[in-house]
Structure 1
Amino acid sequence: MADKLQLNVQGTAATVISETQLHKRYISVWNRKTRFDDGREIEWDVVGHDTPYPTFVTVFTFDSKKKTTCILKEYAQGTNEVKYTCTAGSYDRRKHSSPLESAEHELSEEARLKGGKWINMLPDDQPDGISELKWGKNRFVPYLCIDPEQDPQPRARDNEEWMEVINDVPIADLKRFITTGQVMLPSVQTAWMALDYLAEHGLL
């Protein structure tokens, strides 16, 4: 059983035979042809951003005195609805010197927060980032930011963003939002890792 539970994230399950970009705007779509070890050749639709890894960052905030977090109500264009999210945004090498700087900028833009103690929660065996979706190319770096403060001069948001900041959310409420399917998946991953870290260090 132990062997069956081991996952080699550095390995690959198929050989990529070819990849052709079909569309590019906010995201790109590729036709990828792969071959499995048993000889099957399959063509796939793969989507994502046409940038180096990691593609984006996510930030879970935690107020160590109140034992609360800050989340966003954000418009999700794919399903045309509003969902809960952690702060998240692209790692743009034209604007950011590192994923951490990207995370700091996004926290100011989206949550109107700055400072705090930052913890990079990316696993050592996944240096390119955690994969976002089965059929997506994007990878992200999850961060925990403990005790950020209000930013009196927050950075400007992008024109297409629609979001509302929800401060002082109890962890029990966050868990309820997650278990009722109201939180986007990269934010769920980041929250799970952050809560595990906080519990391990006696901060919850």
Structure 2
Amino acid sequence: MDTELEINTEGTAAKILVETISHKRFITVWNRQTQFKDGRIIEWDVVGHHTPYPTFVVVFTFNTKTKTTSILKEYAQGTNEIKYTCVAGSVDRRKHQSPLESAQHELSEEARLTGGEWICLLPEGQKDGISELKWGRNRFVPYLCIDPQQDNEPRQRDEEECIQVVNNVEIDDLKRFITKGEMMLPSVQTSWMALEYLSNLGLL
């Protein structure tokens, strides 16, 4: 049995020999040349945002009285379709003092919610955030917000956002959306982690 590959979350599975920017606008594309331990040298296209980690945040909300969540229907430009998502947004160091503040702002902007009890779901071994995609550079921090309230003065959404808030979503319906492939993957990851956390507390 091959035992060469070990789980590694520190970003050191291969040595980066050369990395140059091929394209940069909203998304940056890097040409990355790496070398594996067996000597193979491979070139890759790596995409992401040219910002420090973590790149973005994702927020799962939970109402302890109704046992429901609020999610979004949101336009996904890559596949040109509408998908279910949790609240999510970038961590902008020019506007946010921390990933938590970014998450709180995004909850107000996108879901029109505020307050609540906040729990960071990021595992200790993933201090830079959870990786979004195999070929992507971006990392995100998952949050759980318990019992947020309606925000009567929500923050303004970005011009390009096309969002519909879906309130009072039953957990069984959420799982059905996930198993039908209708939810974006960072939202799936965050939902699963939040539901595990809530289950362990006996709140589901």
TM-score range, shorter chain: over 0.9
- Offset, 1:13: 1.4
Question: 1:87-106 counterparts in 2 under 5 A?
Answer: 87-106=87-106
In structure 1, distance between residues paired with 2:11 and 2:30: 21
Paired amino acid for 1:118: W
Match of 2:71? 71
Q: Structure 2: any 5+ residue segments left out of the alignment?
A: none
In structure 2, distance between residues paired with 1:9 and 1:163: 33
Match of 2:28? 28
Match of 1:163? 163
Match of 1:153? 153
Question: What do you get for the CA RMSD once the two structures are aligned?
Answer: 1.5
In structure 2, distance between residues paired with 1:4 and 1:124: 24
Paired amino acid for 2:24: K
Task: Give the direction of change, closer, same or farther, for the CA distance of 1:182–1:148 in structure 2 (3 Å limit).
Answer: same
- Offset, 1:4: 9.5
Matched, 1:107 2:107: yes
- Offset, 1:8: 3.0
Q: Structure 1: any 5+ residue segments left out of the alignment?
A: none
Match of 1:41? 41
Paired amino acid for 1:198: L
Size of the aligned set, in residue pairs, is 203
* Over 2 Å off, 4+ runs: 3-8
Q: Secondary structure at the match of 1:182?
A: coil
In structure 1, distance between residues paired with 2:36 and 2:6: 20
User: Percent identity of the aligned residues?
Assistant: 72
In structure 2, distance between residues paired with 1:188 and 1:132: 11
Match of 1:124? 124
Paired amino acid for 2:167: N
Q: Secondary structure at the match of 1:69?
A: strand
Paired amino acid for 1:48: G
- Offset, 1:10: 2.4
TM-score when scaled to structure 1?
A: 0.97
In structure 2, distance between residues paired with 1:168 and 1:26: 33
